[in-house]
Copies of this chain bind each other. A is one copy, B any other.
Amino acid sequence: MKDKIIYLAREPKISACYTVVGSKESNGPLGQLFDEHCDDDKFSKDSWEKAESEMQKRAFAGALKKSGFIDTDVDILLAGDLLNQCVGSAYGLLDFDIPYLGLYGACSTCAEGLAIGACLYSGNIIDLYGAVTSSHYCSSERQFRYPLEYGGQRTPTAQWTTTGAGAYVVGSEGKVAISQVLFGKAIDMGITDINNMGAAMAPAAIDTITRYFEETGHSPKDFDLIVTGDLGYEGSEILKDLLLGKGIDITNNHTDCGLMIFDRERQDVHAGGSGCGCSAVVMGASVIPRIERGELKKVLFIGTGALMSPMTLFQGGSIPAIAHLVRLEYRGE
């Protein structure tokens, strides 16, 4: 294909979303919108990793129930998370009798899963799919940064990993269509600070968004909302500034899932939220329902992910990032 944007001839519709979050997310600005929350961040399990799997299990079971389908109706599950070897997904989704495709897109996983599934649907390869992802503050923090007991001071640019899982069932029924997809390229601009992921991911979002507007000829004002997930405060400022320099002004209709999920001042989360679960629960609980109700008609969702590991940073590497774009449209009566 010359044009890298994928125009979906057969548009899949989001039939159901279901979101499960922890206590901090419940106390945030979107708290009332999530389907399920747990005050115990272990979700009655004996480790944070098992809690993360439990969230994915509940999220997908909830989405299935809402959709009216059962697991054997679903052609494939596309899932991934931040844990080493993506075990949040592999263990969390074991109970479902559905072919499983593991993904690794870091915090872009929600967009990656929705997008790959949408392409397979449009190509008549599948008729119904699930996209699931999660993150957990405690399992992420100890894997990527420090043991929680260490009580490390957080820098102002640090983001707070969301404890949450979001699941989507996507097929022929629903009011929110996925009409276009643009897969991102891995971009590395030399950022090495694991406490400033927004700066590392912004260039990937800029690349994808710029390519999108150049190839389509659209401008940001053609969209009700351009939502990134999750650049946080730092990354969002960089994104808006640098896009403005390229003549693309998204200042009036941009938001970021990492800015929506927490109250930055009241909840002491510094630059905002992050983690695979962040965009998954914010899109599922807030943005997609607003499209379903017709309040938003055309939305660009750009899922961003940072693809480093602690090992690559210890070895002096910088942080490659990626951003996948999914265009969502209202298809109600």
Contacts and interface: CB of A to CB of B under 8 A. Distances in A.
| Assembly stoichiometry (copies) | 2
Contacts of A97: 185
A38 interface: no
Contacts of A307: 85-87, 90-91, 102
A61 interface: no
A103 B311 CA distance: 19
Given A85-B307, A112-B101, A49 B120 contact: no
B123 A119 contact: yes
Most central of A84, A97, A103 by chain B CB within 10 Å: A84
Contacts of A6: 125
A94 B312 contact: no
A308 B102 CA distance: 12
A246 B65 CA distance: 34
Contact of A104 (B4, B85, B122): B85
Given A85-B307, A101-B105, A106-B85, A126 B1 contact: yes
Given A94-B188, A105-B102, A184-B99, A49 B311 contact: yes
Contacts of A87: 307-309, 311-312
A75 B1 contact: yes
Contacts of A183: 76, 99-101
Interface of A: 1, 4, 6, 46-47, 49-50, 75-76, 80, 82-87, 90-91, 93-94, 97-106, 112, 116, 119-120, 122-127, 182-186, 188, 307-312, 315, 317, 320, 322
22 contacts: A1-B75, A1-B126, A49-B311, A50-B315, A82-B85, A83-B311, A84-B310, A84-B311, A85-B104, A85-B309, A85-B312, A86-B104, A86-B307, A87-B307, A90-B307, A91-B312, A91-B317, A99-B182, A100-B186, A102-B103, A102-B322, A120-B125
Given A90-B186, A91-B312, 6 more contacts: A85-B106, A99-B183, A101-B103, A102-B103, A102-B322, A123-B124
